[in-house]
Chain A
């Protein structure tokens, strides 16, 4: 019995060894893994992008793998890292910035590209994007897909209601327009509430209207930041949104239905959502669609909006030649020609000034004026401490607390002020956890 067992074990070992040694001949190219969260049409664009890179040179192969949505990608990455099987590059959303930055698991992108002698004009990255991802003067991750919320609207609905110039630039006027559209029976609802409304209607609302969101420059100056949005115009904004929902002017799509469909089908007249919706709106909309800037409060100088989206992080623990491949790919991404292609193919903003100028010279914005709104809105006015990005730890978690409290407002369970107080209290507890764990590291 022992002998058979030994035979079996040694046979198994032999099989493993042979399998391990069977290296195919084509593996002379250095292969690196890129995990991303782009599904559907955007996923096809990523595949095209990677193919462009792989065809452009003969030394490296990038393998792009879609690992699900943003949450699933960051989770998959963490699991892989802990199992010492991390990918080389991974696309992580902006809310994961602090988690990645303080993880001790990453290689700062600017350091890597400088070390690998890729000449990149770092100062050419557009400010709102670079500012979000720069730490101690260096870009930590490679900006990849950045967007900002804009106001999508149905031209026909506004024209029929007598508003030839489209949506008004201030919230109270826009409110009157949306109520008029509903009252006249032109549309079922004035606006469809996007899934990421906390980003467009609360966070970016604070940014555009120059309202403080958190202390210590929203976390840029230290981990001891605290939320303060319960003492700002946000209270008024949430009260307004609640009223819209109550009056049927704002429609919550809910599960089982994409809120964008309520807009593209002509059921609702407006949609506060990302400029990255361009791809699907162009394809799906049967309406006369257009877009404009986010509204502001009257008497406030409207500032820039802030970005959302994701960047590419480089993970530690790989071989030097693999980092050559990573650097080559990232530097390829930063080229203006590729930026313009990506901008046009997806609706995300061009990440460098050169790329923006190139698209402009081609006459792209003359033909597609809504594509330029995001860029212009991101760079509107003089930035203030309130109008820069966000740098909160455990940001996904604090955002969830805010969302839950807003849902309680819409459900008539809490008045806006109380809900926002609770959201701030819960958020601050979560920030303190992060501060406790990472004390002295930022």
Chain B
């Protein structure tokens, strides 16, 4: 169009360069609001940095180009598949088969009982109570772990002089074996000899985890949390370090205090890490707290801390009721899968990976 040079359909060179640099910045994980509204344009002509689109590499990617035969990849996978088969698939299938049997532990006598083991379990008040205990325990442990670890990670930046020591102290529990940790907690809180229990009693709290189920529940939740805080802490500190200081500084200039900066700037940016940790904490609460339960309460008193994985062990390896134990582990796996799926479905929705 004559006379309208200012409205060129093609972007000017300077504009192109600006967009490209904005992309580069985005690629580094920054999000700058002034350039965000620009629609992404593929710059194939003279753009300095043509970035591949998402999914672009899939159709003609490495896989097809380099592995025309399917034998070599299979061969390379074989060791891993073998390990998986030996330690996961075969035992899982055997557990599944055992779940339908009423069997003598020596394996010399067995009856196929269809769903009797499952039916007995689901009807038993002890099992139902164990499901609830597991759920509350995992939720409490998860919330507590991520909150405390978040606080400690947030505080890391504010500890200046002894930061190394601070980090080391927080990471120490990870080096303690779970059983030892459990015994330490059990001893510290033992109503007859434990110093912390004595302090609580001096405050007028009738503390007795050996009798009182909720005391025992609090105790194992604290012990399990204490043991796992360091894990979450490492990830959160690393994630917070990746938050660009310029953003925080900009927010500070705008007058946001440290807490506001954390919640409105830093937290959304570390969303993916937090989500990852939530899933990992669930897995930890479900399966890895076994040693702590074993050392602190043995699932007692009266089943108040009998989480599902401990019940599987109790019924299978102490009471040698293999059918029920196998049925329980099948159900446990189902619960774990369902919970993880639910988390991906509902919690992950609120996680923004684009920043």
Q: Does B268 contact A (CB under 8 A)?
A: no
Taking A105-B108, A255-B210 as given, write out 12 further A-B residue pairs in contact, using a Cβ cutoff of 8 Å, ordered by the A residue number: A75-B317, A99-B320, A245-B211, A252-B211, A255-B298, A256-B187, A267-B192, A411-B211, A411-B212, A429-B120, A436-B111, A437-B109
Closest to B316 in A: A75
Please name all residues of chain B whose beta carbon is closer than 8 Å to the beta carbon of A400 when the two chains form the complex.
Answer: 314, 318-319
- Taking Cβ atoms with an 8 Å cutoff, the residues of A that contact B are 71, 74-75, 78, 81-82, 99, 102-105, 245, 251-257, 262, 267, 394, 396-397, 400, 404-405, 407-408, 410-413, 426, 429, 433, 436-438
- Taking Cβ atoms with an 8 Å cutoff, the residues of B that contact A are 102-109, 111, 120, 126, 183, 186-187, 190-194, 208-213, 295-298, 300-304, 314-315, 317-321
Closest to A71 in B: B318
Cα–Cα distance between A74 and B104 once the two chains are bound (Å): 13
B320 and A438 contacting across the interface, CB-CB below 8 Å: no
B196 to chain A, nearest CB (A): 12
Give the interface SS of chain A, mostly helix, strand, loop or mixed. Answer: helix
Do A257 and B192 form a contact, CB below 8 Å, given A105-B108, A400-B314? yes
A-B contact pairs, 25 of them (CB 8 A): A71-B318, A78-B105, A82-B106, A99-B320, A103-B108, A104-B109, A245-B211, A251-B192, A254-B192, A254-B210, A256-B187, A262-B192, A394-B319, A394-B321, A396-B318, A397-B315, A404-B300, A404-B302, A404-B303, A407-B301, A407-B303, A410-B211, A412-B211, A433-B321, A436-B102
A188 to chain B, nearest CB (A): 8
A411 and B301 contacting across the interface, CB-CB below 8 Å: yes
Please name all residues of chain B whose beta carbon is closer than 8 Å to the beta carbon of A407 when the two chains form the complex.
Answer: 211, 300-303
Cα–Cα distance between A408 and B295 once the two chains are bound (Å): 20
Do A411 and B107 form a contact, CB below 8 Å, given A75-B320, A255-B186? no
A117 to chain B, nearest CB (A): 29
Please name all residues of chain A whose beta carbon is closer than 8 Å to the beta carbon of B301 when the two chains form the complex.
Answer: 407-408, 410-411
Do A397 and B187 form a contact, CB below 8 Å, given A404-B126, A411-B302? no
List the 3 shortest-distance A-B pairs measured between CB atoms, nearest first: A256-B186, A254-B210, A408-B302
B227 to chain A, nearest CB (A): 16
Do A255 and B109 form a contact, CB below 8 Å, given A75-B317, A400-B314? no
Cα–Cα distance between A104 and B103 once the two chains are bound (Å): 13
B193 and A78 contacting across the interface, CB-CB below 8 Å: no
A97 to chain B, nearest CB (A): 13
Please name all residues of chain B whose beta carbon is closer than 8 Å to the beta carbon of A71 when the two chains form the complex.
Answer: 317-318
Please name all residues of chain B whose beta carbon is closer than 8 Å to the beta carbon of A410 when the two chains form the complex.
Answer: 211, 301-302
Closest to A77 in B: B106
Closest to B317 in A: A75
Cα–Cα distance between A97 and B2 once the two chains are bound (Å): 105
A413 and B213 contacting across the interface, CB-CB below 8 Å: yes
A437 and B321 contacting across the interface, CB-CB below 8 Å: no
Contact of B103 among A255, A411, A437 (CB under 8 A): A437
B35 to chain A, nearest CB (A): 55
Contact of B107 among A74, A82, A254, A255 (CB under 8 A): A82
A413 and B302 contacting across the interface, CB-CB below 8 Å: yes
Do A438 and B109 form a contact, CB below 8 Å, given A394-B321, A396-B320, A411-B211? yes
Closest to B298 in A: A255
A165 to chain B, nearest CB (A): 29
A411 and B213 contacting across the interface, CB-CB below 8 Å: yes
Closest to A257 in B: B190
Please name all residues of chain B whose beta carbon is closer than 8 Å to the beta carbon of A78 when the two chains form the complex.
Answer: 105-106, 320
Please name all residues of chain A whose beta carbon is closer than 8 Å to the beta carbon of B194 when the two chains form the complex.
Answer: 256
A80 to chain B, nearest CB (A): 11
Cα–Cα distance between A257 and B295 once the two chains are bound (Å): 11
A436 to chain B, nearest CB (A): 7
Please name all residues of chain A whose beta carbon is closer than 8 Å to the beta carbon of B210 when the two chains form the complex.
Answer: 252-255
Do A254 and B209 form a contact, CB below 8 Å, given A413-B302, A437-B109? yes
Please name all residues of chain A whose beta carbon is closer than 8 Å to the beta carbon of B211 when the two chains form the complex.
Answer: 245, 252, 407, 410-412
Cα–Cα distance between A131 and B148 once the two chains are bound (Å): 60
A400 to chain B, nearest CB (A): 6
A320 to chain B, nearest CB (A): 22
